[in-house]
Amino acid sequence: MKLLKYGTIAIIFTLSINTFAQLSSSDFSFILSADTRHFAGPEYQSPEYFLGICTAINSIGPGSFMISSGDIDPPWNIYSDLTDALGKNYPWYPVVGNHEAETEEDMVWLRKYYFNHLEGKVNKGPANCEETTYSFDYNDAHFAIINQYYDGESDKELDGDVSEALFNWLKSDLESSDKKFKFVIGHEPIVSLPDYDNGRHRHKADNLDKYPENSFKFQKLLRENNVTAYVCGHTHNFSIAKLNGIWQIDPGHARGKGDAGAASTFIKMNLKNNKWELLVYRSDETFQKYSLWHTFEID
């Protein structure tokens, strides 16, 4: 694998345009976002918040769908801004974060969202977590959305981990897929990493590494099944790194000025042949404008 970073926006946009010019029918793109909590909905109808990210996504092309890797509390406000900007039929795949797991109203809404929008289109999760863990295929890619707050009995246990019941479901799910690309998406990272640009570091030693035996077992499973990348959230900081043979991608926060400690961020991922490309869009210091900061091409 190689990791290429293009340092100027002009070069990045040229690369992006050339890439799309060569797309085949099986190639596609999608959006990653995370940690929008509180800064969406009626009180935040401003480009300085999540609505600004939705507008920026619409301007560059929203791809086939969005995955939001947790802390989307309250989820109905995220969904409202998203569909207002990108259309009622734009697919959204939510992931349970720790703040949803601790809020009963959020979990009730997410379960209803599954029945209203995802049932019959995705593979349901394990017993007692059927609606908040699920997987689906899109062209040459497989996506496994995992609820790390599932302990086998409840889907809202308040400590992030990969329980035995979740591990067994994920193992069966990944082993049954023959797709070229495989992504696993949860909320908490394997380890917390600093923000790629300003070095801010949050949630140190408060992630899957809190339970090292389960974490190592989880990582081994991803390697054995040739998982393309593990996507997380939780830290509010954008990062990408290869950890023990696994690419970990944290999209950072999508709160706009709701978190001034790091630039607000979203990622557009392009899948093409055997390569995947990350286009990382971040806000300026006013949190009102988004531009392409980084491109990573990996094969």
Mean pLDDT of all residues belonging to the chain: 92
The pLDDT score that the predictor gives to residue 299 is: 83
User: 75-86 and 50-60 are packed helices; what angle lies between their axes, rounded to 10 degrees?
Assistant: 30
Q: How many residues does the chain have?
A: 299
Contact 255, 36 (CB under 8 A): yes
- Among residues 18, 38, 50, which one has the least CA distance to residue 277? 18
CA distance 183 to 249: 10
Q: Residue 238 above 90 pLDDT?
A: yes
The token pair that represents 5 in the structure block: 């970073």
Reported confidence tier of residue 85, pLDDT bands at 50, 70, 90 = very high
Which residue carries 């077992």 as its tokens?
217
The strand order across the sheet containing 66-68 reads: 4-5, 290-298, 275-283, 265-272, 28-33, 66-68, 92-94
Domains of the chain: residue spans and CATH? 32-247 (3.60.21.10)
Is the pLDDT reported for residue 20 higher than 60? no
Q: Which residues touch 285 (CB under 8 Å, ≥6 apart)?
A: none
Peptide bond into 194 cis (omega under 30): no
Query: What is the Cα–Cα distance from 109 to 119, expressed in whole angstroms?
Result: 14
Amino acid 73: pLDDT: 97
Q: How is the chain classified by DSSP, letter by letter?
A: ---EE--SHHHHHHHHHHHHHT--TT-EEEEEE---TTS-SGGG-STTSHHHHHHHHHHH---S-EEE-S--SSHHHHHHHHHHHH-TT--EEE---HHHHT-HHHHHHHHHHIIIIITTTSEE-STT-TTTSEEEEETTEEEEE--TT--SS-S--SS----HHHHHHHHHHHHT---SEEEEE-SS-SS----TTT----STT-SGGGSHHHHHHHHHHHHHTT-SEEE--SSSSEEEEEETTEEEEEE----GGG-TTS--EEEEEEEETTEEEEEEEEE-TTSS-EEEEEEEEE-
Give the distance from CA 173 to its chain's centroid: 19
What band does 21 get if pLDDT is binned at 50, 70 and 90?
very low
Query: How far, in whole angstroms, is CA 36 from its chain's centroid?
Result: 12
CB atoms within 10 A of CB 84: 13
Tokens, residue 185? 């998406």
Largest CA distance in the chain: 51
Q: Is the pLDDT of residue 109 over 80?
A: yes
Angle between helices 104-113 and 75-86 (to 10 degrees): 40
Per-residue model confidence as pLDDT tens digits over 40-71: 999 999 999 999 999 999 999 999 999 999 99
Please write the tens of the pLDDT for every residue from 180-224. Answer: 999 999 999 999 999 999 999 999 988 999 999 999 999 999 999
**This prediction's pTM:** 0.91
